Amino acid sequence: MSELHNFFISEDNIKDGSGKIKGSDLHHLKDVLRMKRGDKLFAITTSGKFEATITDITETYAEIRLIQLIEPRVEPKHHINLLQAIPKGKKFDLIIEKATELGVSKIYPLFTSRVDIVINPSKESNKLERWRRKAFEASKQCRRLKIPDINEPIQFDEIFDITDKLKNATKIIFWELEEENSLTTLLSNAYLSSEIFLLVGPEGGFSIKEVEEAIKHNFIKCSLGKWILRTETAGPFAVGLVSYILWEKER
């Protein structure tokens, strides 16, 4: 069944064992993949992944029949939250795509003192929509059962409004000047919170003031190795390392 295509179906579009595919997914199914009645696909719902068959195709929707549950949705024990400084251009698209493939649960786009971009309010909603679409597409490609949440951009100080509410969260700030703490050391503790926050800086890194402020709010400094990574590399790399270490611990 590996050749079957994935389609996310919202609960609003499922009733009595049937579902409807609409919008851009309908265009992809009908005009790009040229699928037809009787073809099979994977329908991903809040319950999990189903094998499904197309029963009808109209101008506004494709109707499918859910046949059998292939893979129940099991929520991960740990949620990886990436607090990522926003780089210039469309590099954030790549960060979202790769972090999604590597197991991120939620991404917070972040403005820091060294984020050198101009905010254009008229384009912000379009940018956020594009980012969420990137997460959606990456989830389909790597067959994830849950699409990561992409938060609206926040200021550096707003991080702590989120993380301070979670008293036992594991909070890590990656800093190029840290030489002692590594991820394997930090994540090898017997107790590890279900909520893990990874704070990644911009091109040029965090200011000393920002690092000190994060430490005051119980973030732990951590190194990503001896190389200085680009911000669009550091975020997904950190998510991938944490995902793998947690996978090893849970096996």
pLDDT above 70 for 60? yes
Predicted pLDDT of residue 179: 80
- Mean pLDDT computed over every residue of the chain: 89
19: left (phi over 0), alpha (psi -120 to 50) or beta: beta
Most confident of 1-10, 59-68, 172-181: 59-68
Instruction: Supply the pLDDT for residue 119.
Output: 65
| Band of residue 191 on the pLDDT scale cut at 50, 70, 90 | low
Domain architecture of the chain: domains with CATH: 6-72 (2.40.240.20), 79-250 (3.40.1280.10)
118 pLDDT more than 70:
no
Torsion over CA: 174, 176, 181, 184 (sign): positive
Contacts for 100 with CB less than 8 Å, ≥ 6 apart: 134, 135, 138, 139, 142, 144, 147, 148
**pLDDT value at 2 more than 60:** no
**If pLDDT is split at 50, 70 and 90, which confidence band does 4 have?**
confident
Confidence of residue 190 (pLDDT cuts 50, 70, 90): low
pLDDT given at position 34: 94
Find tokens 């669009």 and name the residue: 232
Tokens of 238: 């950190």
User: At 206, which amino acid appears?
Assistant: F
**DSSP codes of every residue in the chain:** -TTSPEEE--GGGEETTEEEE-HHHHHIIIIIS---TT-EEEEEETTEEEEEEEEEE-SS-EEEEEEEEEEE----SSEEEEEEEPPSTTHHHHHHHHHHHTT-SEEEEEE-TT------HHHHHHHHHHHHHHHHHHHHHTT-SSPPEEPPPEEGGGHHHHHTT-TT-EEEEE-TT--S--HHHHTTSS---SEEEEEE--TT---HHHHHHHHHTT-EEE---SS---HHHHHHHHHHHHHHHHHHHH-
Q: State both tokens at 245.
A: 């270490």
Q: What is the pLDDT of residue 96?
A: 97
Which of these, 65, 49, 109, lies nearest to 235 by C-alpha position?
Answer: 109
Look at 191 and 201; give whichever has higher pLDDT: 201
* Average pLDDT, integer, range 155-180: 92
Contact present, 67 and 52 (Cβ < 8 Å) = yes
